[in-house]
Amino acid sequence: MWDLGLVGFGNVGQGLARILEGKRGPLRERYGFECRVTFIADPVKGSVLNPSGVDLGSVLEEIEKTGTLKGHPDATEKDTLSLIRGDYARVITEATYTDLSTGEPGVSHIRAALEKGVHVVSTNKGPVSIALPELLALAGSKGVSYFFEGVVMSGTPTLNLAREALAGCDITGAMGIVNGTTNYILSRMEEGMGYDEALKKAQELGYAEADPTGDVEGWDAAVKVQVLAKVIMGEPIKVEDVDRKGITGITPDDIASAKGRGARIKLIAEVGRDGGKLVAKVAPREVPLTHPLAGIMDATNALTLVTDHLGEVTIVGPGAGRVETGQALLTDLLAVHRKHGRG
């Protein structure tokens, strides 16, 4: 039985909780995986603690009714780091808000867990961008795992595809649509919406944050390019090294003009080599309608990996969503279970 702590209880944490609540039997029968959530820590919604196991159904009901955990019977005043450093969990999920400039608070959460000898699975891009070598080294020194499948395409298994399914291949490049918010906006603009209206719709649907800068200016995609460069190509770069341009300058006339040339404008993330030098960039590009990426619409993501043995391999799937990203955490939890035993 794995004792599990959930750090961050927004859409992603709630998505995982719903999966765990609904699939206890199948997870036990198919994978021999059993867990109990001993604490949930969220800096905004509050925290709950029960070493015997939090009732996920009641927690989800409380969140749905009140938007907070502060009135739950298991509510605690302990702060997040105290819960992580306590002897409450052998594995934590980290899915808090991402500050792409500092990686905090995720870096501190993950570092504290690893120092304690606790496994970490995370969808948080900030720590991977800012502190991946340090955190992996710390995990190795403590004999625990730090997995982060969900940082590129949520529940769509991009990193596992590259590292596991394509083991033995040299991956020489990658390009794709890795930000669902901007792809949704561009899809709506093609239907005739203006940029501001399309952005508002994306915010209403939960695809875009109240401050959409990270998405529409290309920062989110740039961090994902940085992760791809590090993880699948072995090139440690900074996010500032990514040549970045967002979609805020795209107009309906640009969309119509591209359509007249038999193309669609997509925000394309790309990493590869040119004459031995790594090239990493994010920019709107006209993609011919004959290209597979041109057909990727709405909040869907797609990534093409260029390999020596198989040529181009493309994976398509959701790049956002509560349950979809929760699935990425579950994938990594099962990987911890396979690697380290039954808890």
3-state per-residue secondary structure call for 242-271: CEECCCCCCCHHHHHHHHHCCEEEEEEEEE
Taken in order 104, 106, 107, 111, the sign of the CA dihedral is positive
CA pair distance 44, 46, nearest whole angstrom: 6
Residue 107, number of CB atoms within 10 A of its CB = 21
The label of the residue with tokens 């919406």 reads 193
Per the CB < 8 A criterion, the answer to whether 162 and 257 are in contact is no
Whether the per-residue pLDDT at 142 is higher than 80: the answer is yes
Could you tell me the two tokens for 83?
């819960």
Could you tell me the two tokens for 274?
């040119």
Per the CB < 8 A criterion, the answer to whether 49 and 39 are in contact is yes
Q: How far is CA 303 from the centre of its chain?
A: 14
Which residue(s) pair with 280 in the sheet?
A: 271
Q: Enter the DSSP assignment of 304.
A: E
pLDDT, tens only, 170-189: 999 999 999 999 999 999 99
Query: Which amino acids are annotated catalytic?
Result: 224
Q: Roughly how many angstroms between the first and final C-alpha of the chain, as a whole number?
A: 5
**Residues whose CB is less than 8 angstroms from the CB of residue 285 and which lie 6 or more positions away in sequence, other chains included:** 265, 266, 267, 268
What's the length of the chain?
343
Q: What is the mean pLDDT of residues 262-285?
A: 96
Give pTM, 2 decimals.
0.91
Per the CB < 8 A criterion, the answer to whether 289 and 308 are in contact is no
Per the CB < 8 A criterion, the answer to whether 70 and 41 are in contact is no
Q: Report which of 229, 216, 222, 228 is spatially closest to residue 282, judged by C-alpha positions.
A: 222
pLDDT, tens only, 207-245: 887 889 999 999 999 999 999 999 999 999 999 999 999
Q: What are phi and psi of 44, to 5 degrees?
A: -105, -45
Q: What is the mean pLDDT of residues 9-38?
A: 96
What does the mean pLDDT of the chain come to? Answer: 94
CA pair distance 69, 146, nearest whole angstrom: 27
Whether the per-residue pLDDT at 341 is higher than 90: the answer is no
Burial class (CB in 10 A: 0-12, 13-18, 19+), 46: buried
All structural domains of the chain = 2-154+323-340 (3.40.50.720), 166-318 (3.30.360.10)
pLDDT, tens only, 88-110: 999 999 999 888 889 999 999 99
CA pair distance 94, 105, nearest whole angstrom: 10
